[in-house]
Amino acid sequence: MSNTLTYKEYIASVEFCAEDEVFYGRVLGINDLITFEGSDVKKLKSAFNEAVDDYLETCKELNKEPNKTYKGVFNVRVDTSVHKQAALIASQNQITLNEFVKRAISFAIENKAKLSLS
C-alpha cells in the first residue's frame, strides 16, 4: 500500500484523519509548505493536482525555482556496529566508506527498496 501521490513529477505524502473524516497531504521536495485535503480519494487527487498547478504558476510569476535544491552532502547517524561493519566491508573492497554509502544508497534507489520502520 502506498501513502503517496504523484503528479507532474511531484510527490505528496498522504494520510487520513479519522476524527475529521478527511484525507490530507503535503507536497514533498519543495522549499515551501503546500498542503491539500479531500473527503474522498478522487477529491484528494484533484486537490493535489490543483495545489501543484497553483504552486508552479505562483513560482513562475515570482521567478522562483519550485524544486528544493539538494547539495549532495548530508550527515548519517548509525549504530556503532553498523558503522564498523560498513567500514570493514568498504575496506575489504578497497573503497572509502563514503563510496560504500553512495553505492548502497544508489542500490536501494535502483531497486526501489521499501524501508521497514517496525
Over the chain (118 residues), the average pLDDT of each successive run of 10 is: 88 95 96 95 97 97 93 93 96 96 91 64
pLDDT for residue 113: 62
Q: Are 68 and 30 in contact (CB under 8 A)?
A: yes
pLDDT for residue 117: 52
pLDDT for residue 118: 44
pLDDT for residue 109: 87
Q: Are 43 and 51 in contact (CB under 8 A)?
A: no
CATH 3.30.160 fits 4-62, yes or no: yes
Sheet strands side by side (includes 35-38): 4-7, 10-17, 22-27, 35-38
Residue ranges per structural domain of the chain: 4-62, 71-118
H, E, C per residue of 43-93: HHHHHHHHHHHHHHHHHHHHCCCCECCCCCCCCCCCCHHHHHHHHHHHHHC
pLDDT for residue 112: 77
